[in-house]
Copies of this chain bind each other. A is one copy, B any other.
Amino acid sequence: MQDVADRAGVSRTTVSFVINQVVDGAIPAETQQRVWDAVAALGYRPNAAARNLRMQRTHTIGFISDHIATTPFAGQMIQGAQDFAWEHGKLILLINTGGRQNMKADAAEALLERQVEGVLYASMYHREVTPPASLREVPTVLLDSYVADRSLPSVVPDEVNGGRAAVEHLIARGHSRIGMITNVDPIPATMGREKGFRAAMHHHMLPVDESLICAVQSDQAGGYSGGMQLLQRPKRPSAVFCFNDRVAMGLYQAAAELGLHIPAGLAIVGFDNQEVIAPSLRPALTTMQLPHYAMGRWAAEHLLQLIGTGVKDNPVQQMLECPLIERSSA
């Protein structure tokens, strides 16, 4: 512990406080980080036997997620991460917390006990997270998520350019009266996709009619009710960009009920490319692919680099493209 204190330039008491998370807010974040860096650099454990064993390598990385294993499409993140790890001789210890808040710290402990060389920390959808502080002991990369102060490297979808490309596609098809069914939750995907929508309209000098934007619960029922509103406006849109594929599914149902043919009477672009929905709708849904597999690979690659070099400064915030998947709805 003295070595950690010396290296971090703090007292033993401060080291102890940081490690035991006794006075979380009272020690500046920058100082806490110095302590964790020293802990990591020295392989310090409150147990001598542990330090020796730590010199051996387990070729195992941890993967902590919330609902990913049970989310219909985010499992591609696990697959992407595992494929890269496997190609480099590493296995994945998986803990899916099912969203139980009190399980996060225990999950981190269980992984650190088993001497994982690093941890991937993933969310089922793009959002801010607060990983357990103990993860600072090993290289950690955030997947489809980020921490408020951006002090950990992370990879997320490029929501803005995804939304923009979706609307550019509609504009290229000759539409100018374009609506959006967006999400009531103020999450990054909502903000980003709507920002992209506005950017594309602005870029082509098309007016945004605010009466053609409505916010709903981001599921099929929301898409249906939003669709019934938008499509019964005196001057209805000729095309609608949907927050996600489930919303688009509801909009299909509203269009059918109102006798509108897709894409001739109404063009639709979704988001997510959920394999169970998008290709199965009639007509098949044009949508933007969430890059789950690519994010998983990127995160594993970046983590293995950190493990190899030990360098942890300048955390990267990587955004990956959401490609257009062109089918028949626009």
Could you tell me the distance between the alpha carbons of A69 and B235 in the complex, rounded to whole angstroms? 45
Could you tell me the distance between the alpha carbons of A268 and B217 in the complex, rounded to whole angstroms? 27
Interface centre among A72, A83, A93 (most CB of B within 10 A): A72
A11 at the interface (CB under 8 A from B): no
Known contacts A72-B73, A91-B110; decide if A249 and B49 are in contact (CB<8 Å).
no
Residues of B within 8 Å of A19, CB to CB, are 43
Binds B, one of A111-119, A183-191, A310-318, A320-328: A111-119
Q: How far is the CB of A277 from chain B (nearest CB, A)?
A: 6
Could you tell me the distance between the alpha carbons of A91 and B275 in the complex, rounded to whole angstroms? 30
Could you say which of B47, B75, B83 contacts A50, with CB atoms under 8 Å apart? Answer: B47
Could you say which of B58, B92, B115, B275 contacts A72, with CB atoms under 8 Å apart? Answer: B275
Interface size of A by CB at 8 A reads: 63
Could you say which of B112, B113, B280 contacts A219, with CB atoms under 8 Å apart? Answer: B280
Interface centre among A63, A110, A114, A275 (most CB of B within 10 A): A114
Q: How far is the CB of A70 from chain B (nearest CB, A)?
A: 5
Cβ-defined contact, A82 with B60, below 8 A: no
Q: How far is the CB of A112 from chain B (nearest CB, A)?
A: 7
Residues of B within 8 Å of A42, CB to CB, are 20, 46
Could you say which of B73, B115, B256 contacts A49, with CB atoms under 8 Å apart? Answer: B115
Cβ-defined contact, B280 with A45, below 8 A: no
Cβ-defined contact, A76 with B70, below 8 A: yes
Cβ-defined contact, B69 with A96, below 8 A: no
Residues of B within 8 Å of A88, CB to CB, are none
Q: Which of A18-50 contact B (CB under 8 A)?
A: 19-21, 41-50
Interface centre among A220, A253, A279 (most CB of B within 10 A): A220
Residues of B within 8 Å of A115, CB to CB, are 48-49
Could you tell me the distance between the alpha carbons of A82 and B64 in the complex, rounded to whole angstroms? 12
Cβ-defined contact, A78 with B83, below 8 A: no
Known contacts A45-B112, A79-B96; decide if A224 and B282 are in contact (CB<8 Å).
yes
Cβ-defined contact, B75 with A71, below 8 A: yes
Residues of B within 8 Å of A112, CB to CB, are 45
Cβ-defined contact, B48 with A45, below 8 A: no
Cβ-defined contact, B45 with A50, below 8 A: yes
Residues of B within 8 Å of A277, CB to CB, are 276-277
A246 at the interface (CB under 8 A from B): yes
A98 at the interface (CB under 8 A from B): yes
Cβ-closest chain B residue relative to A41: B20
Residues of B within 8 Å of A63, CB to CB, are 94
Residues of B within 8 Å of A43, CB to CB, are 16, 19-21, 46
Could you tell me the distance between the alpha carbons of A48 and B58 in the complex, rounded to whole angstroms? 12
Mark A residues whose CB is within 8 Å of B: 16, 19-21, 41-50, 53, 56, 58, 60, 63, 68-73, 75-76, 78-79, 82-83, 86, 91-96, 98, 103, 109-115, 219-221, 224, 246, 249-250, 253, 256, 274-277, 279-280, 282
